[in-house]
Amino acid sequence: MYYLHRIRNICHADLKPQNVLVDDKGTGRVSDFGTSKIVDLPTEGSTGYRPGTALYMPPERLSGGGATKEGDVYAFAITAFRIWTERLPFEESGLTDIALYRTIVDDDNRPTILEYDGMPKELQQLIEGSWDKTPHMRPSFESIAKRLKAMSVASACIVKKERRIERYRSKEMTFEINLINFKRYY
């Protein structure tokens, strides 16, 4: 995402776990650029209306604003939450689309990171900062990359790998992705 934002000036507009492909070495690659747009001017920011997945959209976009780089950062936070916890955001609430909108936009709620999730404090702080309600308060992907690198260098941990196969269907085909889940134990 740092490359897309900083080097290519592209707003993805639909970042979510299903759009991150993971190879057998655990390297993630962002995919599905169907809703992406090149941001013409760095100061322009918004790309106008873009379809996407409501669960990963920031409050300003749910309220009718356009897709932005800051919105991609918010989507990263929700994606990181989903991957680490293996839970859908707000799944414990069983929210409908309208209730989801109200809880994110009107009530300013975010998913709950629980103690038993075992998330390192540094990662939790990064995620919580990245889903801040105020877009300009969210870090850039350059900052996120630096913080993630510092976390991986600073932490001596055992990584547990669990493999699972996920099957996805589209109108044209069915395909399988072999995923590796990483859980860190301190």
Per-residue pLDDT tens digits for 93-106: 677 777 888 888 98
For residue 101, the enclosing domain spans 2-155
- Residue 173 belongs to some domain of the structure: no
Return the percentage of the chain with pLDDT > 90, whole number: 36
- Residue 141 belongs to some domain of the structure: yes
Output the domain CATH number for residue 95.
1.10.510.10
Amino acid identity, position 102: R
* 138-163: pLDDT as tens digits: 999 999 999 998 887 555 343 444 44
Q: Is 14 assigned a catalytic role?
A: yes
Out of 14, 40, 97, 108, the active site residue is 14
- Residue 31 belongs to some domain of the structure: yes
User: Residue 180 above 60 pLDDT?
Assistant: no
- Residue 21 belongs to some domain of the structure: yes
Domain count, the chain: 1
Which own/partner pairs from 50-55 qualify as long-range (CB within 8 Å, at least 24 positions apart)? 50/13, 50/14, 51/14, 52/13, 52/14, 53/14, 53/16, 54/97, 54/100, 54/101, 55/16, 55/88, 55/89, 55/90, 55/100
- Residue 160 belongs to some domain of the structure: no
